[in-house]
Amino acid sequence: MIEVSRKADETYRIVCCILLISLNLMFELNNTQWSIFFKAISIISFTIICFLFVYFSFKYKFKTQDLVVLTVLLVTEVICFIFHDNEALLLLIAAVLFFFLKEIDIINIYLWTLIIVFFITATLSFLGVLPLTADGFYVLGFGYKNRIGFILFSICLYTFFIIKNRYSNKLTTVIGYLLLFLTIFLEQALQDRTAMVLLLLLLVIYSTHIFKFNNKFFAILIISLPLILIAISLFLSFNLTRFEWINKLNELLSLRISLWNNDWSMYNLTIFPQQLNSYFSYITNYGQNVSVTALDGYFALGMLQHGIIFFMISIYSLMHMLFINLEDINDEKELLMCITVIFILYSFSENIPAVSYLCFLFPTAFSLKSSR
């Protein structure tokens, strides 16, 4: 456990929030002069956090497990830095910074981060600094509809979690469910099928309390979910042209399986990270030739992009997180399990949950300790 003043603890969480906000806005405003301003804020806030982290370290009673976790994270950070894997590097840095925080505090940080980023980005889009629309949809400055869809999706899940765990009564429960249904409606308007389906699935699994079933086989199945998704992703990637049903699924997934198949045919699996710069072209139903370069699907392309070492650590961390929360399930952990599983499923077709400043999933999993 850690014993620090309440003011130091609150300051740490606030500065973590400022860091995530500045990183979000720095990347959203990448092609504008504001990017330099938010980069400066991110550097200043990161420096403050480092000083506070050192202060907390002197107050914290480290166990052997804690030292092992920190050592693995720091060594992997060095590897990612050497091989210029900035996405993985930021995930690991976030994991170290969140080392002293509880899951509910981390989720609260991401909730306020995304709310503030949403309103700032939306305001800038109305002022003409960022694009208001893209491909016929209102994206409010977020570039494309899946990104704003994920932002709304995450805000909804984080708010639902905080409401249920801090203000649990009948009125707040009703408000939480109304928020879920409102977000489903917004996701439908954005035609973000992934977010809409997963929100509906959240309602089902949380309402049925399936994670409280005392069944060993079911527990093993849930803990093995990341491995199952890897197996499914690779099977689809390598058998795209062999089965007609995979082609139909490929169309339903907006040609993501074609992306996976293309990258696996162009790159070899490596121990360390590598840059994936491949793309492929296809003809739309309207006869338009389109080139695609997206890296969607963490379980299909994560090991190819980040290398075997980082990918194995990330998968182990996710499975460990599922195990810890399922081991001693209660009302708080049940909802946390639901949200964790939903974000893992989201990672099957998208790479956004693996972005450190947008999603709590991987930083929390990397830094998770059974003693937290």
Give the integer Cα–Cα distance in Å for 161 and 111. Answer: 10
Query: Rounded to the nearest 5 degrees, what angle is found at the Cα of 46, between the Cα atoms of 44 and 48?
Result: 70
pLDDT surpassing 70 at residue 3: no
pLDDT surpassing 90 at residue 35: no
**What percent of the chain is modeled with pLDDT above 70?**
90
Q: What is the pLDDT of residues 141-166, one digit of tens each?
A: 888 788 888 998 899 899 888 888 87
pLDDT confidence band for 209 (50 / 70 / 90): confident
Q: List helix spans (H) across the chain.
A: 6-28, 34-59, 64-82, 86-97, 103-126, 145-166, 170-189, 193-208, 216-223, 225-238, 244-252, 256-266, 298-327, 331-349, 361-367
**Average pLDDT for the chain:** 85
- How far, in whole angstroms, is CA 221 from its chain's centroid? 22
Question: What residue type is assigned to position 25 of the chain?
Answer: L
| Predicted local confidence at residue 354, as pLDDT | 92
| Predicted local confidence at residue 285, as pLDDT | 42
pLDDT surpassing 90 at residue 131: no
| Predicted local confidence at residue 9, as pLDDT | 82
Residue 187, SS3 per DSSP: helix
Angle between helices 298-327 and 331-349 (to 10 degrees): 170
Q: Beta-carbon neighbour count of residue 291 at 10 Å?
A: 8
Q: What is the pLDDT of residues 286-321, one digit of tens each?
A: 344 444 556 789 999 999 999 999 999 999 999 999
Buried b (16+ CB within 10 A) or exposed e, 241-280: eeeeebeeebeebbbbbbbbbbbbeebeeeeebbebeeeb
For residue 238, give both structure tokens. 């390598």
Beta bridge partners of 138: 133
Pick from 108-112, 145-149, 358-362, 363-367: least confident: 145-149
pLDDT surpassing 90 at residue 79: yes
Q: What is the pLDDT of residues 211-246, one digit of tens each?
A: 888 778 888 999 999 999 999 999 999 998 888 899
Q: What is the pLDDT of residues 86-97, one digit of tens each?
A: 999 999 999 999
Give the integer Cα–Cα distance in Å for 282 and 287. Answer: 9
| Predicted local confidence at residue 28, as pLDDT | 86
Give the integer Cα–Cα distance in Å for 289 and 231. Answer: 32
| Predicted local confidence at residue 42, as pLDDT | 94
pLDDT surpassing 60 at residue 126: yes
Q: Residue 365 contacts by C-beta under 8 Å, 6 or more apart in sequence?
A: 95, 314, 317, 318, 320, 321
Residue 295, SS3 per DSSP: coil
| Predicted local confidence at residue 65, as pLDDT | 83
pLDDT surpassing 60 at residue 280: no
Average of pLDDT values for 127-147? Answer: 83
Angle between helices 298-327 and 225-238 (to 10 degrees): 160
Separation in Å, CA 41 to CA 81, 90, 188, 363 = 22, 16, 36, 21
pLDDT surpassing 70 at residue 282: no
Q: What is the pLDDT of residues 345-354, one digit of tens each?
A: 999 988 889 9
Pick from 100-114, 179-193, 255-269, 338-352: least confident: 179-193
